[in-house]
Amino acid sequence: MSEKKITAPKGTHDVLPAQVHIWQELEKIMHETSKEYGYKQIRFPVFEHTELFNRGVGDTTDVVQKEMYTFLDKGDRSITLRPEGTASTVRSYIENNLYSGPMPVKLYYIISCYRYERPQAGRFREFNQFGIENFGSGSALTDAEVISLAMLLLKRLGVEGLTLYINSIGCKECRKKYNETLKDFLHSKQQSLCDLCIDRMDRNPLRVLDCKNPDCQEILKDAPTVDSVLCDDCVKHFNDLKKYLTEIGIPFEVDTSLVRGLDYYTKTVFEIKSGDLGAQSTVCGGGRYDGLVEQLGGASTPGIGFSMGIERLISILEKQNKLPEANDKCEIFIGSMGEKATEFAFKAVYALRENGIKAEFDHLAKSVKAQMKYADKIGANYSVIVGDDELNKGVATLKNMQNGETKEIALCDLLGGKLNG
């Protein structure tokens, strides 16, 4: 009797060989675009001390209160699988003195993230993000540049139908004022809000705004918006951002109710949404976090970044029929009859591959007919069959598998790793 099959944990997925080219192509464009903008990749651990996220993401956020994979390791340390990349990037920036290099410091990452959520379309327990973080500039030019990177990347990937929403949630001072205004409003609606909203109302009123409960959302529609309390500096910063985005032709909409789900944001927040994603419509979210480096033990440093959900990106591309094509077709299949010919094929294939030509041959002593079927299945552009006759003459017939045309090819050329004479 066979053993019971083991399946992947809920909310996780394999990227299978037939799809992996999609990931590779997307990642290639992410690396290239980041490089053009002067960003360098950073790689950090999959797990961190839990405290990093409690302090970095905020202990009244959904991510920390409900979604973290936290456990005690064998040394009784509280460890958490990273739910996002910003906190780790800031931790590493401080720990490794990255601020001692030229400013601003520009970093990007392509990482898996872990959140204990209810799996559904566009929402997984293990998912992947591309993200960038920029440290050392408080200028609205940097906000515009960071947003432009996200938009350019999405344009290069061929995604259509996206809308960029921006808002300013103000500096620390504006936030204080807004929290008071918001608290007053929330207290006046206390009877109708859910328990979690009531719990967060005084500790972190801003978090109440992204409650997912539809009844709460209905009430929160009337909440005062942050634009009413912004100080002159924050208003100017936001107006500058709008001006710069307009100057490079990036369309946007101001959404005064946009606050984002993480605690560390100040001033600019933004989201890029797709009409093709259903309920989980946000592909990219980000914003400025001028207090975060200090909050995690570094010197006061302005910062801004975003992250993009790669699974959501792929699902839009799929809906829009824009998935990249696989580019791994075999160039030549060398079929063989008999042991000597197979050895020739083995050597010729090695020489061709050495020269960067994708070549294959038969390992399973298949019939010539079966070998040709295989060549067809793997989409080989050319095929050639070598037997004793060909070995004696030193030439074989090269067949173009697309149009059936044939021409002679010298075996010594193949052994020299050459396809075209």
Q: Does 276 bind ligand ATP (CB under 6 A)?
A: no
Q: How far apart are CA 308 and CA 285, in angstroms?
A: 7
What is the number of other CB atoms lying within 10 angstroms of the CB of residue 365?
Answer: 12
What is the number of other CB atoms lying within 10 angstroms of the CB of residue 179?
Answer: 16
Q: Does 307 bind ligand ATP (CB under 6 A)?
A: yes
Q: How far apart are CA 240 and CA 164, in angstroms?
A: 16
Which among 1-9, 303-311, 327-335, 404-412 is the span making contact with ligand ATP, rule CB under 6 A?
303-311
24 phi and psi, to 5 degrees? -65, -40
Q: How far apart are CA 338 and CA 386, in angstroms?
A: 9
Q: Number of residues interacting with ligand ATP: please give it, by CB under 6 A.
A: 18
Q: Does 360 bind ligand ATP (CB under 6 A)?
A: no
Q: Does 13 bind ligand ATP (CB under 6 A)?
A: no
Cα 368–Cα 370–Cα 376 angle in degrees, nearest 5: 105
Q: Does 255 bind ligand ATP (CB under 6 A)?
A: no
Task: Check: CB of residue 153 under 8 Å from CB of residue 30.
Answer: yes
What is the number of other CB atoms lying within 10 angstroms of the CB of residue 415?
Answer: 14
Q: How far apart are CA 132 and CA 287, in angstroms?
A: 11
Q: Does 56 bind ligand ATP (CB under 6 A)?
A: no
Q: Residue from 58, 136, 138, 285 that binds ligand ATP (CB under 6 A)?
A: 285
Contacts of 263 (CB under 8 A, 6+ apart): 57, 58, 60, 61, 204, 206, 207
Q: Does 280 bind ligand ATP (CB under 6 A)?
A: yes
Query: Measured at CB, which residue is nearest to ligand ATP?
Result: 309
Q: What is the DSSP string of 146-169?
A: HHHHHHHHHHHHT--SEEEEEEE-
Q: Does 274 bind ligand ATP (CB under 6 A)?
A: no
What is the number of other CB atoms lying within 10 angstroms of the CB of residue 56?
Answer: 23
* Choice between 107 and 384, CB closer to ligand ATP: 107
DSSP 3-state assignment of 174?
helix
Q: Residue from 59, 117, 199, 255 that binds ligand ATP (CB under 6 A)?
A: 117
* Choice between 245 and 310, CB closer to ligand ATP: 310
Q: Does 167 bind ligand ATP (CB under 6 A)?
A: no
| Pairing assessment for the beta strands 162-168 and 253-254 based on DSSP bridges | parallel
Q: Does 171 bind ligand ATP (CB under 6 A)?
A: no
Q: Does 261 bind ligand ATP (CB under 6 A)?
A: yes
Q: What is the DSSP string of 291-329?
A: THHHHTTS----EEEEEEEHHHHHHHHHHTT-PPPP---
Read off the amino acid at residue 415.
L
* Choice between 163 and 282, CB closer to ligand ATP: 282
Residue list 309-328, contact with ligand ATP (CB under 6 A): 309, 311-312
Q: Residue from 82, 106, 115, 288 that binds ligand ATP (CB under 6 A)?
A: 115
Q: Does 283 bind ligand ATP (CB under 6 A)?
A: yes
* Choice between 50 and 129, CB closer to ligand ATP: 129
* Choice between 205 and 309, CB closer to ligand ATP: 309
* Choice between 316 and 401, CB closer to ligand ATP: 316
Q: Does 124 bind ligand ATP (CB under 6 A)?
A: yes
Which among 21-29, 115-123, 194-202, 368-376 is the span making contact with ligand ATP, rule CB under 6 A?
115-123
Q: Does 84 bind ligand ATP (CB under 6 A)?
A: yes
Interface ranges with ligand ATP (CB under 6 A): 84, 115, 117, 122-124, 127, 129, 261, 280, 282-285, 307, 309, 311-312
